[in-house]
Structure 1
Amino acid sequence: MSAQRAGIQSVEVGFSLLQVLGASPGPLMLRDLASAAGMSAAKAHRYLVSFQRLELVTQDAGSTRYDLGPAALKLGLASLSRLDSVKLARQRMAPLMEQIGQTLALAVWGNQGPTIVHWEESPQAVTVNLRLGDVMPLLSSATGLCFSAFMAQPAGGHKDTSGKSSKNSHQLHDRLPPLLKDELARMQKLARKDVPKTMGEVTAVLDAVRRRGLARVVDTLLPGVAGFCAPVFDADGHLALGIVALGSLATFDPAWDGAVAKPLMQAARRLSSDLGYPAV
């Protein structure tokens, strides 16, 4: 028998188009997508027609650009939800929500940024336009600030226990600065006064998040809504996920040492410990 099992080459060739879309910061024109995948536009188009039928790819009728479709999102979310860290976190959501009485969510880093992969709504939940699969803004959400602060470096300078560098980790870190710069530029165009206005201010805000070990926004993501995001670290000290709490300021305690923040941080630390992160 061959050392390598026989497969279907056309599937492998077509998948390169999905890989290009997954790595792209946004939708792509056919010629650019085909070029990046190393094939002719005509060949790429045939694959894309099939991918559209399967809802793995969508095409905008106006711009004619291609992007990942709903089936790709479902596959990605299913894969993310099966990570051990997410499984463990989901098991702890119900008792934590009962303790703090606010809506909770779990976020992990996806292709375009911190992505909501689990959501548990409190009975007294505030209405928000958030859904599973939503990518949270890096500068105006507690989730985005948490990931921006703790993805850039391992927590506490902790090193990989294997003694080897993490290629995936470096790739994630490399993608963060351009995403931050793009969002900062958008906020500057909108003249937002409730978010950092310069990269220097961004650095100062992220340093404060690291010092506190927790990110918070009040009236920034949504009017009348506050939120916290606590980081959860794996055995190598890398950010595994964020536990998010949010609610209406009418019932939500936004104090750093209040009825929401303290239990949230304690839950995140316990989960980090269970994932092998050494206690500090």
Structure 2
Amino acid sequence: MAHSSTPEKTPEGDKERAGIQSVEVGFGLLDVLAKAPGPLMLRDLASAAGMSAAKAHRYLVSFQRLSLVVQDANTRYELGPATLRLGLAALSRLDAVKLARERLPTLMDQTGHTLALAVWGNRGPTLVHWQEIPLTMPVSLRLGDVMPLLSSATGRCFAAFMGHGGGYDKAQPMIEPELTLSRKLGRSDLPCTPVQVQAMLNETRAQGLGRVVNVLLPGISGLCAPVFDADGHMVLGVVSLGSSATFDADWQGPLARALRAFAAQLSFDLGWRGA
């Protein structure tokens, strides 16, 4: 009896192919949530993903069980803690982050202050590593937090250096909403006009650091130094922060010099040969 050279389809094989397709379809919902500026209603989420609300809901039920998606009090959907863990794990595997993490203990011994690492995420500068010095003032920041561009040392550093010297500045579209809020609140410690923003960015570039003193958090000061890759792109921010009573935020102080030196050496080791 002759045997066909074409493999016979089996129900099990069909299920396997259908399962793979389901993963791809379901990922569309996660992708929409990742790109959205905030939580979405079911109908809006389903429409953006190109599927019916009933079909989207079935996926979302499973995603909620896995903590990939959460639902707020207004029945809107948002990415859940499991997606944050996956994202942080992926970001932490970047060479720059890995190299910086290995060296942070030495910098902490040298400076005596809490340190953090930040990278540019889909919503802005995101904390991906945190190393707190014992017996210091607790700071209400955590892994995964997205730092504001105008009121944090980290944000100012990314806003100043990420698109500087060519290329599209991803920070620029995010600055205007913060400017609007700053004007609305009447904040005298923050830039309120584009001219003031430019002056702040120029100072940050001239000093080689982002800096805030009692701006984002009362009683807390911070500095952030940029790290560049071989192509001159800012890939990482090295952050130091602490109580303003003991934190030396002087542009030319020992802490500022230590951060600049750390970031410069890390940039050099990543291939950057710029000024």
TM-score w.r.t. the length of structure 2 is 0.90
- Could you tell me how far 1:10 is from its partner in structure 2? 0.8
Q: RMSD of aligned C-alpha atoms?
A: 1.7
- Could you tell me how far 1:41 is from its partner in structure 2? 1.3
Alignment correspondent of 1:137: 148
Structure 2 Cα separation of the partners of residues 103 and 11 of structure 1: 41
- In the TM superposition, what whole-angstrom CA distance separates every residue of 1:42-74 from its partner, at most 9, and x where no partner exists? 11111111111110001112x211110000000
Q: 1:56 aligns with which of 62, 68, 77?
A: 68
The letter of the residue matching 2:176 is K
Segments of 4+ moved more than 4 angstroms: none
Q: 1:66 aligns with which of 35, 52, 77?
A: 77
Work out the number of aligned pairs and report it: 260
- In the TM superposition, what whole-angstrom CA distance separates every residue of 1:19-45 from its partner, at most 9, and x where no partner exists? 111011111111111111111111111
User: Does the 8 A contact of 2:223 with 2:241 survive in 1?
Assistant: yes
Which is greater in Rg? 2
Q: Give the number of the structure with larger relative contact order, counting CA–CA contacts within 8 Å between residues 6 or more apart.
A: 1
User: Does the 8 A contact of 1:104 with 1:245 survive in 2?
Assistant: yes
Structure 1 Cα separation of the partners of residues 82 and 187 of structure 2: 35
- In the TM superposition, what whole-angstrom CA distance separates every residue of 1:191-217 from its partner, at most 9, and x where no partner exists? 211110112211221121112111110
SS of equivalent to 1:8: helix
- Could you tell me how far 1:124 is from its partner in structure 2? 4.3
Alignment correspondent of 1:35: 47
The letter of the residue matching 2:33 is L
* Runs of at least 5 residues in structure 2 that lack an aligned partner in the other structure: 1-5, 7-15
Alignment correspondent of 1:278: 273
State whether structure 2 residue 239 is matched by structure 1 residue 237: no
Alignment correspondent of 1:46: 58
- In the TM superposition, what whole-angstrom CA distance separates every residue of 1:144-164 from its partner, at most 9, and x where no partner exists? 10011112235xx5xxxxxxx
Structure 2 Cα separation of the partners of residues 41 and 186 of structure 1: 35
**Matched ranges for 1:1-280 at <5 A:** 8-61=20-73, 63-154=74-165, 170=168, 173-174=169-170, 176-280=171-275
SS of equivalent to 2:272: coil
- Could you tell me how far 1:187 is from its partner in structure 2? 2.0
Structure 2 Cα separation of the partners of residues 279 and 178 of structure 1: 27
- In the TM superposition, what whole-angstrom CA distance separates every residue of 1:59-105 from its partner, at most 9, and x where no partner exists? 112x2111100000000001111110000000110000100111100
* Runs of at least 5 residues in structure 1 that lack an aligned partner in the other structure: 158-168
The letter of the residue matching 1:109 is W
- In the TM superposition, what whole-angstrom CA distance separates every residue of 1:168-191 from its partner, at most 9, and x where no partner exists? x85xx34x2232111222222222
SS of equivalent to 1:260: helix
SS of equivalent to 1:241: strand
The letter of the residue matching 1:186 is L
Structure 2 Cα separation of the partners of residues 121 and 11 of structure 1: 39
Structure 2 Cα separation of the partners of residues 139 and 273 of structure 1: 28
User: Does the 8 A contact of 2:114 with 2:133 survive in 1?
Assistant: yes
- In the TM superposition, what whole-angstrom CA distance separates every residue of 1:87-128 from its partner, at most 9, and x where no partner exists? 000011000010011110000111211111111111242211
- In the TM superposition, what whole-angstrom CA distance separates every residue of 1:219-263 from its partner, at most 9, and x where no partner exists? 111122111000000111011010000111222111111121000
User: Does the 8 A contact of 1:102 with 1:124 survive in 2?
Assistant: no
TM-score w.r.t. the length of structure 1 is 0.89
The letter of the residue matching 1:29 is M
